[in-house]
Structure 1
Amino acid sequence: MRKVKVGITGIFLLISGLLMAQNVNRTPQGVKVNVAEGNFNAEVIFYSPSIVRIVKYPSVKDQMPDKESLSVTLVPEQTKIDFKEQGDDVRLKTSDMIVTLNKTDGTVRFTDTKNNELLAEKGTPSFYPNKGKADKGTYKVRQAFMLEKEEAIYGLGILQNGKMSQRNQRKYLMPGNVEDGITFFQSVKGYGLFWDNYSPTNFADDENETSFESEVGDCTDYYFMYGGDADGVVAQMRTLTGQVPMFPLWTYGYWQSKERYKSQNEVLGVLNKYRELQIPLDGIVQDWQYWGSNYLWNAMEFLDGNYYNPQQMLDEIHAKNAHMIITIWSSFGPQTKPYKELNEKGLLFNFRTWPLAGTDTWPPREDYLSGVRVYDAYSPVARDIYWKHLTRLYDLGMDGWWMDSTEPDHLDAKPEDFDTPTYLGSFRKVRSAYPLMAVGGVYDHQRATTSDKRVFILTRSGFAGQQRYGCNVWSGDIVSTWESLRKQIPAGLNFTLTGNPNFNSDIGGFFLGHYNKGWNDGSATKNPSYQELYVRWVQFGAFNPMMRSHGTEAPREIYQFGKKGEPIYDAIEKAIRLRYSLLPYIYSTSWQVTNKQSSFMRALMMDFADDKKVWDMNDEYMFGKSILVAPIVEAQYTPEVAATASEETGWDRDDNKNKSKGSMTVDFTTKKTAKVYLPAGTVWYDFWTNEKYDGGQEISRETTIDMIPLYVRAGSIVPIGPDVQYATEKNWDNLELKVYAGANGSFTLYEDEFDNYNYESGAYTEIPMTWNNASRTLTIGARKGKYNGMLEKRQFTVKTVDGNSKTVTYTGKKVTVKL
């Protein structure tokens, strides 16, 4: 046998190699590596071929911390992994991506299956021990990443920074009134990253790195997902954290609200006035203090005598084919039944919350504190108690819930407040998950009660995974300014890109004191400056998943702005009727959101990623996959007015010095112009005129006060519904199908029973439609599925943009229309 000489270096390398091999352990879903140099363990855990979890924790803990994710619902599926060690690297390849873990420094990088780099970690994780008693044994945790210089990223929740791409930003992420920070972003390169931590988290991006740093954690814990494009990433995020249930059809109609209706007679009077004026309306909202004083805050009962017969009120609302939702909060006054039961079990927090005073005076009187306290929504017992008391309203026939202050409100926050113990640890540890738990508690309890009525929740705050709880999140108590209107577009789009498709804002803005002559005198609705802003906000709201007018200091009903035949009134009416005409399109889109993981509000990069001009475009978007919306977001007829009200502190009523001064005469009948960019890669048609344009250019569009620029992409099939007073007034038995020639296209018309969960067991129909541009033929395919009450026979009037029209009878069998 030949003798082999091994030098000192060779022996060292041999021993190091053996030790290194011992530090790499295969697991059923991936690999675990002890990184000796960094004194931490790193685990790669595949949940699917396109979703992988990366967990790192100090070596003093031999096993991964036992952590139950509050956002993630996906159970790891068996995934085929090609495992290979190459030098210092452990390479794990699935059918969708490659994850490479460096055994020496523990860094991870992600590539597609063709080795194109997607994302790479920068450096090792940081674990700084928390010294406070409340979070003893935990760490402040941080991980940095490297992005390409020109790479655009999106998400991070509802932000009021007005930006589409979130590069070069620093944000303190947690739920708030007007901003909801979500620890998720996705890239134009087709990947997403969810940092699974619920404590307050700093996100930072600059030319050197991109990082998440959270105040409390047992480990760094994040999910990387590869979807190929923005829709794919949204789909992966929902696969990871939960799918979107269907809302009732009526929720997509028009909603009227204000701060606040003060009596049963006022509520019914508003509904009656809309029906008298024949303005479509489906929802009306009851805001706070129907319970009486602040000491009875959120009693979940009508204790104010002005609501003399709540059951009669709900019955009359329903008899007039409308629906009501009512505000409920995360806190309770000391004289309420829920407070007493929760307090007995130690399920109330002690930090200061809204309302501070027991009297409804301004400023709040510290000598008459309200005693209102927030409940521990992290506790399953507390959530049971919450629903138990909420059933008093549910049993009246209430149609949904306006869950306000689900951040929750936290006034004059002190560091020690975050030490407050909850069912799941310190408040600091789980701070960001509060809205997820509060909203989820109501959804789960109602679902357990009945499947005959879909859950609908309007709420002020959201977090990752909340899309699974039947909620629409609005952007909080924003101010009434043009700048604020402009910010709502990227706010809604970035929220959508976190996987949460349901967004809306207070149409007209919440605080408008600078448009009023005096506090709460309603003068703003007669102020031309505010009238113009309000109309443009209504037009934008018509292309949100929820169209809801709301605010303080002035009522917002259409008749407050004038009367029929006047430009402002007519413009508001036109926007509302436009919304109702698109209900078949909107409801079919809602099915695509639920069934195909699509989105309502679509940043232009979702559909036109090859056009770099749209990567950072923050004032246009697609509504569904056919309609481009370009809201007018700058004043054309009146001067813009600067904001004075505070979004964060709220209720700043001392704004006399900045009122709109004097009166002005404005001719709202004159024509103006606006610039619109049409993305490259398709032909576009003006929704109003059918005029045809090539994409990849900016055009100048003549505008009027009653018109919002809308463009439809070639190949689209857009169903137009009947003229109605409420969403379900008329069957869709004679729909107009508008066909936009110039490219092949398809559309699926979806219908079901409109307000129960029978669709989950297959009680729905789909009618597929395809347009062949070469043969100019629309094929209406055979109907799929069935449900009780479905239309057996109907007509479709098919119209093309060049004026051709044919009406056909459809009985569920394939029909071909040549145009």
Structure 2
Amino acid sequence: MTLAPYHVPDFSPEADEAAIVRGDRFRLTVLTPRIVRAEYDPDGEFEDRPSQVFWHREQPVPEFDVARGDGQLAIETEALRLEYTAEEPFAPSTLSAHVRESGSVWHYGDDDVANMGGTVRTLDRVEGSTDLEPGLLGGDGWTVLEDTDRLVFDDGWVAPRDAHDDYEDIYFFGYGHDYLGALEDFTAVSGDVPMIPRWALGSWWSRYADYSADRHRSLIERFREEELPLSVWVLDMDWHVTDNEYHGGWTGWTWNRDLFPDPEGFVDWLHDVGLKTTLNIHPADGVHPHEAAYPDIAEHVGIDPASGRPVEFDASDPQFLRGYFEHVIDPLEDDGVDFWWIDWQQWDESPEMAGLDPLWALNHLHALDRTRDGRRPFILSRWGGLGGHRYPVGFSGDAYISWGSLSFQPYLTATGSNVDFGWWSHDIGGHFGGSGTPTGFGELYARWLQFGVFSPINRIHTGNIEYIDKRPWTFEPTVRETLSEALRLRHALIPYLYTMARRNHDRGVPLVRPMYYHHPNEELAYHVPQQYYFGDELVVAPHVRERGDGTNLSRQTVWLPDGEWFDFETGRPSRAGLDASYGDLGDVPVYARAGAIVPLDGDPGFGDVDSPETLRVVAFPGADNTVDLYEDDGTSQAYRDGEYATTTIRQSHEPGRVALTVEAASGATEHVPATRDLELCVRGVREDLAVEIDGADGSVAYDTETRAQTIAIPDHDATSRVTVTLSAPDRGLVVPEDPRRDRVRELLRHLEIPARSKARIEEYAAAFIASERADLDWLGDFRERLTGEQARAIVETLVDAGVAHVGNAEQERLLLWNGDGRTDVTYRLSTFERGSIPLAAEGETESGPLPSLKILELDDLGGEDWTLTVEYADAGRVTFDGTGEAQQYDGEIW
């Protein structure tokens, strides 16, 4: 038996003959200007079937030239030149490529030492950070993907290749620093990223516990009473029968009716209140006689149900797989289950077929099975390898509850984009470990949820630990309000997130992106692993460390590229370059570039993720920009046939004037509310601006906290156009302020020092800010009052100088910067022989004012045999040791 038709994707695996250069034993295929496929086979037999990764080799034939002579062959495209000694086996001397944009040269067999990483199968049993598998992108501007041993599709399902032992099949990517172009090309040949359902972009609630249906209902009702929006309710493994005589109970397919006496009614109720649901499954133990589905699937695979013989899980067998879906999975979906959490943690190669990973098989088939009734491919599962971008979303595994685990997740998420795997779902708040105390855990949980808001999927999850409680209302008021604000903000962001999801589908560019995607020629873009672009318009650097004891604030190092930037929430201008951001529990470092346009839901509700009835457009002056707000039915694949609507939002800027236009909706406008309230909000501008409204009637209000002019237009006809113009030709648009005064005042409010000292420091700081060129000697008067941590915070808030430890498991570093060229912030770096004193006489110590920029790789400093001490204007010092962490010392600098 073969698989069902909907389990077999649409392939276009055979390249146009015009793209092929061949010989008796080789075939070179120019897939795009950046990608060349190279095959060698002594028998001259080449592979045209789709592989697990490459489905669409039939591409528009790019322009290229071919030169032959003296047994040599060269292919030239606009991006690269590939050279090959015709008919010879691939070797460093026979196959090479030159990448034009980066100037780098690759020879067959070269190690990709500059590879920037990809992702990892799971974070199970990982506390903190871990090494990542290689990705598609490298600093040398090339990557080679080895496809020789991957399975190919044959008659609907995969099979090993029947090839010569010396057969090779590789794909050379030569893109220079055009990382976005590399991802676009990769998805062209491997398959696009499907649109995820709109409801997936809200907040999810998940707990591993044997809750009854009534207890679930009670908890959901409390969320509704608290006006805390959710969109997905996850049922972990105890939804099914676990006690049985056949296995340990992890695998199960039959509702536990002690907990869910009416499962169909319960799922219907979830849908009635606006929630989608998923069931957690562990398929490895197959289907046993105690399961309700056993008789049907047993007969399907040729087993007499009376025998009691189990139906074994076999990812290689189309007969089993078809029965698995038709008799086990699909009936549960018919009862209302929306999608599946595939919690595969077992073997990574099928014993029945070499090279077949059951996790990949489950991801592939479960995603496609949803399309049988027109829905979009959508699952929750661990990463099954390259090509996994076709099966959103990714479950990163059981996270440890620790600051180290939280601090690694922004890097993991952004770097996952290097294999185009952008739709990550993390255990927000963690799964294992932790104390669960409201005070100790509250700060960590709040910071984790803030990251969840600015990550692809926001899934709050709790392990089966009685004393870990993540219900927001159980925490003290400050934490409770922070958690509540985060949940509401996530749902407000859905119009922006869904628009970015469409860009991901169209261009292969994930929502969360490393900074080097947009700034490939900036060195610092490669050294800020805890910040990222969040779509096209925002940069986020979430707080991922606990507050300092002396400052009572969290600290995060942020790099903003050249240009104008604004704090997203306050509208306050933010300077480009490196900066240390100090924030209390409610602060999240989120920055909008000049000209940014962010569409929001102005009135998000529980279970409501539809196109907003109140559309709030938040914009920032300083540049021209256009964003096409994307809306469709949110669930079906009709978008592939053009069934969607776009509303163009345009900003035009000139000195003293900004115009914000919402064009009439176009396309399938049935997916847009016929009328909706518009709130056009321009942040970061002055209060005394002239405001004109063209195309509608509205009111104008100014908010001093966000420095925002908001034009409210009720009952706006979505098929009409409206423009608001803000102008101040004689004064300029942006609030003329130096943000340092407010930042110092906020910092002092939190410092653990005498209140009288705070008042004096503020006076000195105000005078310092008012001076064009001032020194920090006055700070030394407070030496007895300040710790090194506190002195660092004050100095870093006032001047463009600082030091930070950043990194991950693969590469940790210290950043030193001094954009103001100050001489009163100094450093001393000393390295040791193990167990000895510093070897200053042998040139092992360097010191002086902080350099304008210095990047110290910890691996280059000799393990733990070094110290770095930074002194802040004779007011305090911070010393970093071999762990890379800041330690406070009161003694003299060596």
TM range (shorter): 0.7 to 0.9
Match of 1:726 in 2: 606
Amino acid at match of 2:384: G
Q: Does the 8 Å contact 2:20/2:29 carry over to 1?
A: yes
Which residue matches 1:392? 331
How many angstroms does 1:790 deviate by?
2.5
**Alpha-carbon spacing, 1:392–1:624, altered in 2? closer, same or farther (3 Å):** same
SS in 2 for 1:269: helix
Other-structure match for 1:786:
668
Q: Report percent identity of matched pairs.
A: 21
Q: Report the secondary structure of 1:788's partner residue.
A: helix
Structure 2's unaligned 5+ residue stretches are 1-15, 152-163, 686-707, 727-894
Superimposed CA distance per residue, residues 219-276 of structure 1 (whole angstroms, 9 cap, x where no aligned partner): 3322223455222111111112111222222111111101134322222222122112
Aligned match of 2:785: none
Partners of 2:105 and 2:540 in 1: CA distance: 32
Q: What are the Cα deviations for residues 19-78 of structure 1, in whole angstroms up to 9, with x where unaligned?
A: xxxxxxx975433457xxxxxx54322233432212234x3x442367641221103336
What is the CA–CA distance in structure 1 between the aligned matches of 2:234 and 2:311, rounded to whole Å?
A: 24
In the TM superposition, residue 553 of structure 1 has moved relative to its aligned partner by 3.8
- Choose which of 85, 95, 98 in structure 2 pairs with 1:111: 98
Q: Does 1:326 align with 2:279?
A: yes
1:816 to 723, 730, 754: 723
Q: Which amino acid aligns with 1:186?
A: L
| Alpha-carbon distance between aligned partners in 2 of 1:372 and 1:684, rounded to the nearest angstrom | 62
Aligned equivalents of 1:384, 1:119: Cα separation in 2? 48
The structure with more radius of gyration: 2
Counterparts of 1:610 and 1:730 in 2: how far apart (Å)? 40
Q: Which AA in structure 1 matches 2:110?
A: F
Q: Is the 8 A contact 1:584 1:721 kept in 2?
A: yes
Partner Cα separation in structure 2 for residue 725 and residue 78 of structure 1:
46
Question: Which position in structure 1 is the counterpart of 2:578?
Answer: 698
> Residue 687 of structure 1: which of 568, 578, 583 is its match?
568
CA distance, structure 1, for counterparts of residue 718 and residue 368 of structure 2: 39
1:188-203 matched pairs, under 5 angstroms: 188=139, 191-196=142-147
Give the whole-Å Cα distance in 1 for the aligned partners of 2:166 and 2:299: 32
**Aligned with 2:207 (options 252, 258, 277):** 258
Q: Is the partner of 2:278 in helix, strand or coil?
A: strand
Cα distance in 2, alignment partners of residues 371 and 547 from structure 1: 41
Which whole-Å deviations, capped at 9, do the CAs of 1:717-755 have from their partners, x for residues lacking one? Answer: 112212323353675233221111122222111111222
**Alignment match, 1:474:** 395
Residue 461 in structure 1 maps to residue 380 in structure 2: no
Distance 1:730 1:330, change over 3 A: closer
- Residue 166 of structure 2 corresponds to residue 244 of structure 1: no
Instruction: State the match for 2:410 in structure 1.
Output: 489
Shift of 1:493: 1.7
CA distance 1:385–1:198, shift in 2 (3 Å)? farther
| C-alpha separation in 1, matches of 2:542 and 2:332 | 38
Alignment partner of 2:356 out of 402, 421, 430: 430
Q: CA distance change for structure 1 residues 376 and 217 in 2, over 3 Å: closer, same or farther?
A: farther
CA distance in 1, matches of 2:567, 2:469: 27
Matched, 1:74 2:56: yes
For 1:689 and 1:260, how far apart are their aligned partners in 2? 40
Contact 1:671-1:702 within 8 A present in 2 as well: no
The 1:85/1:116 distance shift into structure 2, 3 A limit, reads farther
| Mapping 1:374-773, distance limit 5 Å | 375-388=313-326, 389-405=328-344, 408-410=345-347, 420-422=351-353, 426=354, 429-431=355-357, 434-448=358-372, 450-451=373-374, 453-469=375-391, 471-512=392-433, 515-516=434-435, 524=436, 526-554=437-465, 560=471, 562-563=473-474, 566-636=477-547, 671-695=552-576, 697-726=577-606, 728=608, 732-773=612-653
Structure 2 Cα separation of the partners of residues 305 and 250 of structure 1? 30
In 2, Cα distance between equivalents of 1:78 and 1:680? 36
Question: In the aligned structure 2, how far is the partner of 1:119 from the partner of 1:558?
Answer: 55
| SS of alignment partner, residue 816 of structure 1 | strand
Task: Return the alpha-carbon distance in structure 2 between the equivalents of residues 677 and 260 of structure 1.
Answer: 39
Distance 1:612 1:373 in 2: 56
Counterparts of 1:76-115 in structure 2 under 5 Å? 76-77=58-59, 79=61, 80-87=63-70, 89-103=72-86, 106=90, 107-112=94-99, 114=100
CA distance in 2, matches of 1:799, 1:722: 11
Amino acid at match of 1:396: D
Residue 116 of structure 2: aligned partner: 153
Instruction: Give 3-state SS (helix, strand or coil) of 1:145's partner.
Output: coil
Contact preservation (8 Å) 1:580, 1:727? no
Quick one: structure 1 residues 371 and 264, their matched pair in 2 at CA, closer, same or farther if it must change by over 3 Å? farther
Is the alpha carbon distance of 1:637 and 1:116 closer, same or farther for their aligned partners in structure 2, counting shifts above 3 Å? closer
Question: Where does residue 178 of structure 2 map in the other structure?
Answer: 229
Counterpart contact for 2:315–2:350, Cα < 8 Å? no
Out of 136, 146, 150, the residue aligned to residue 185 of structure 1 is 136
- Give the C-alpha shift of residue 109 in structure 1: 2.5
SS at match of 1:383: helix
C-alpha spacing 1:378/1:493, structure 2 compared with 1 (3 Å): farther
Residue 562 of structure 1 and its aligned partner are, at CA, apart by 4.5
Q: Deviations over 1:756-775 (max 9, x none)?
A: 22222222111112222215
Counterpart residue type for residue 43 of structure 1: R
Aligned-residue Cα RMSD (Å) equals 3.5
**Superposition deviation, residue 178 in structure 1:** 10
- Cα deviation, residue 613, structure 1: 0.8
The change in CA–CA distance for 1:706 and 1:374 in structure 2 (over 3 A counts) is farther
The answer to whether the Cα contact below 8 Å between 2:51 and 2:150 also exists between their aligned partners in 1 is no
Which range is displaced more, 526-535 or 721-730? Answer: 721-730
Preserved contact between residue 377 and residue 437 of structure 1 (Cα < 8 Å): yes
Q: Determine whether 1:44 maps to 2:37.
A: no
In structure 2, what is the Cα distance between the partners aligned to 1:501 and 1:608? 19
Structure 1 residue runs without a partner (length 5+): 1-25, 35-40, 123-143, 164-176, 201-215, 349-369, 517-523, 639-666
Preserved contact between residue 250 and residue 726 of structure 1 (Cα < 8 Å): no
Shift of 1:779: 2.9
| Residue in 1 that maps onto 2:160 | none
Q: Which structure 2 residues correspond to residues 330-341 of structure 1 after superposition, within 5 A?
A: 330-331=283-284, 332-335=286-289, 336=291
Residues 560/306 of structure 1: CA separation in 2 closer, same or farther (3 Å cut): same
The one-letter code sitting in structure 2 at the alignment partner of 1:145 is: D
Look up the equivalent residue of 1:486 and give its one-letter code.
S
Counterpart residue number, 1:138: none
Counterpart CA distance in 2 for 1:578 and 1:371 is 52
Q: Distance in 1 between matches of 2:541 and 2:302?
A: 47
Tell me which amino acid in the other structure corresponds to 2:55.
T
Counterparts in 2 of 1:66 and 1:251: CA distance versus 1, 3 Å: closer
The CA distance in 2 between the partners of 1:217 and 1:309, in whole Å, is 57
Tell me the residue number matched to 2:227.
278
Shift of 1:461: 2.9
Contact 2:227/2:606, CA 8 A, preserved across alignment: no
Q: Aligned AA for 1:99?
A: L
Counterpart CA distance in 2 for 1:609 and 1:159 is 28
Q: In structure 2, do the counterparts of structure 1 residues 77 and 750 end up closer, same or farther at CA, with 3 Å as the change threshold?
A: closer
- Partner secondary structure for residue 444 of structure 2: helix
Q: How far 1:338 sits from its partner (Å)? A: 6.1
Instruction: Give the superposition deviation at 1:506.
Output: 0.5
Alignment partners' CA distance in 1, 2:129 and 2:312:
19
The alpha-carbon distance between structure 1 residues 716 and 261, as it changes in their structure 2 partners (threshold 3 A), is: farther
Q: How many equivalent residue pairs?
A: 654
Closer, same or farther: CA 729–541 of 1 in aligned 2, 3 Å: closer
- The answer to whether the 8 A contact 1:619-1:631 is kept is yes
> TM (normalized to structure 1)?
0.73
Alpha carbons of 1:419 and 1:536: their partners in 2 closer, same or farther (altered >3 Å)?
Answer: closer
Compute the TM-score of the two structures, normalised by the length of structure 2: 0.67
